[in-house]
Structure 1
Amino acid sequence: MCTSLTLTSHAEHHFLARTMDFGFQLDGRPVVIPRNYEWKSQQGIQKTKYGFAGTGRNLEEYFLAEGVNEKGFAVAELYFPNEAKYNTTTQKEKVNLAPHEFIMWLLGQIGSISELRERITEINLVEEAIPMLGFIPPLHFIVTDKTGETVVLESDSGEMVVKSNPVGVMTNSPDLSWHLKNLNNYLNIQPTNFPAKKIDEYVIQPFGQGSGTFGLPGGYTSPERFARATFLRALTDTGETVEEGVNAIFKILNNVTIPKGVDIKDDGSSDYTQYRAALDVTELTYYFNPYESPEVFKLTLDETLLAKKEPTEFAYAATFKTTDLNTKNT
């Protein structure tokens, strides 16, 4: 189902991060889509103005779920079941796209949130299924840029709407406004312990450290992950360096990462976190962590990759590794 958040470190680096939770095996790889790349949408040929990096898979055309482009504009798409609404017909005066194609257009065409607000009316999302998979994904999108601003794109009425996101977190259904209102249920959450209280002559006090987090939800539903991620994002120390900021992001994501086998869908498949990603929109760097390994792989956009004629995929070794301290000490 996925959890996403934006974060600004003490080093004034802006990030977008996400977990990719899915039951169907995606088998994606880190990939760079170059600028001036022509790709085929279901309504015609599109061409990228900007190059970008993300994790994707070539299903007759590239399918990405998140990415950061060369202007520092970053997007992640997440499931929006029972809420997303798309148009059933094309509109001649607009760019007609299937929902899963929208992220390719955004990353290839838009350089900032201000430009996004100006151009969002150009788009008409049409009910078109993903080729080879045969279903129409219900999606909404979290967006940030080099300013650190965060917005959400939702189409609950058939038209895509840009919504300001004051907490920098997005999960799944219901819509953003519902999640924000739901945070009112967690006014008691705080990083410090509650003080002891006296009832008549009897003193009650916390059992130990962490009493301020009592009531913070721990399940994997969308509302629980939203509340948990919001609290952790607001209070986690992001460190002084870029590396400390990236480390802080993955520590937050640890709390919304779904292990394989604990969340079984109605069809029997396991909905789990297939990978996590952190996108540095300041240095145009993509960090990728697959489920099979704690290792984080790093990919930075550069002119060589951006100027290529075709996309560049990057293989990685998805294996769990350990460092043998006995060997290092001999």
Structure 2
Amino acid sequence: MWSGILPAVTTKFTTEDTLDHAEMERCFGLLIEAGCDGLIVCGSLGEGPMLSHDEKLAVLKTARSVAGKKPVLLTINEATTRDATSLARRAADAGVDGLMVVPSLVYHTNERETVDTLKAVAQAGGLPIMVYSNRLAYRVDVTVPIMEELAKDDLFVAVKESCGDIRRTTEIINAFGNRFAVLTGVDNMAFEALAAGAVGWVAGLVTAFPRETVAIYRLMKAGRWEEARAIHRWFRPLLDLDVSTYLVQNIKLAEVIEIGSNDRVRLPRQPLAGELRAHVEKIIRDAIASRPKLPLV
């Protein structure tokens, strides 16, 4: 459950800004068919902060209907601990397999506040938790000392490491061995993180390019690094689209071009336009035109 390729899926909307469950079923199904190891809904890429709790649980239900026996995680990314714990309880009642938890979305918590918030969510949901550590986007860094506190609670089982410093993967493994499953959460650092010992990849561009993403992971785990590196070098311009203020719009545009989906987003976001759209579209189309043949793995 805490390894492999776990797509951070996009949330699909109708032209009336309601949830498009039919399109989500189709897109989620492509990921499962390509060999992804589970689904994570309502994260940053899934526009979770723009969704109501009812909408998040509805997306969860759709994902569970598609995933079969593979795990589905719900992201807890609320502004307040009260709302985070409420959603954790409801997600547990809805049968979610686990939670990915952002310590604090708006207020930048200190170490004590970070630990207490995470423990409150764990207690409320009673579910296994992957902590989302992203000091760049959310200004809260789940450091090794913080993880020492979390290690005392068996519900904390994994970390999505997105601090932007590849050395952190090694630091966590050196400090805790296999106590925590370390998954990389930055697309354009995934190759390096897997080489350093990460056991999974919470991926973004996978929603448009699932077979390439799965191939890199499986080749790395099989020790076929040269083959994985060749795919990664081709993939890198696309993976860079994940590290952007416009990651949601970038990746949804990739879904438009590659899998025939739409790039509707929830306001205040708007689809890419003008020169920026043309620039991103060129990156995507150039990559598609030069995509490598994938080896059997």
Query: When you count strand as a share of all residues, which structure comes out higher?
Result: 1
| TM-score computed with the length of structure 1 as normaliser | 0.31
Structure with the bigger percentage of helix? 2
